[in-house]
Amino acid sequence: MYATATTVHRTRRPYPPPDDSKHYTEVPPATVKQYNPIFRAIKRLGVDFGIMDLDAGERVAVFIAATLLVALFIGGPIYIVRYAFS
């Protein structure tokens, strides 16, 4: 139906040739800091837990408290069920 080429704009001027001198996809990995998927998901959601603001001792204390809470949430119901069926 139309006899126009794909490289011609509607004003009949051809597009400029592609710039092959720059490769934007070739970024050296040393300049871009790599994050794990969990950290990227937290940053994407915009949740700030303030973990980076804690001192080393405070981070250890938070880690121990979180580990104990996870153990309680997982082990508590298992203990109750085993006690009920024994």
Q: What is the pLDDT of residues 30-53, one digit of tens each?
A: 666 778 888 887 777 765 666 667
Distance in angstroms (rounded) separating the CA atoms of residues 39 and 54: 17
Radius of gyration for the chain, computed over Cα atoms and rounded to the nearest angstrom: 28
> Does 18 fall in a domain?
no
Contact between 47 and 39 (Cβ < 8 Å): no
The answer on pLDDT for 6 being more than 80 is no
Grouping H, G, I as helix, E, B as strand and the rest as coil, residue 14 is strand
pLDDT at 41: 79
Q: What is the pLDDT of residue 45?
A: 74
What pLDDT, on the 0 to 100 scale, is given for residue 64?
Answer: 94
- Quick one: pLDDT band at residue 14, thresholds 50, 70, 90? confident
Range of the domain at 81: 50-85
Decide if pLDDT at 58 tops 70: yes
In the chain, how many domains are there? 1
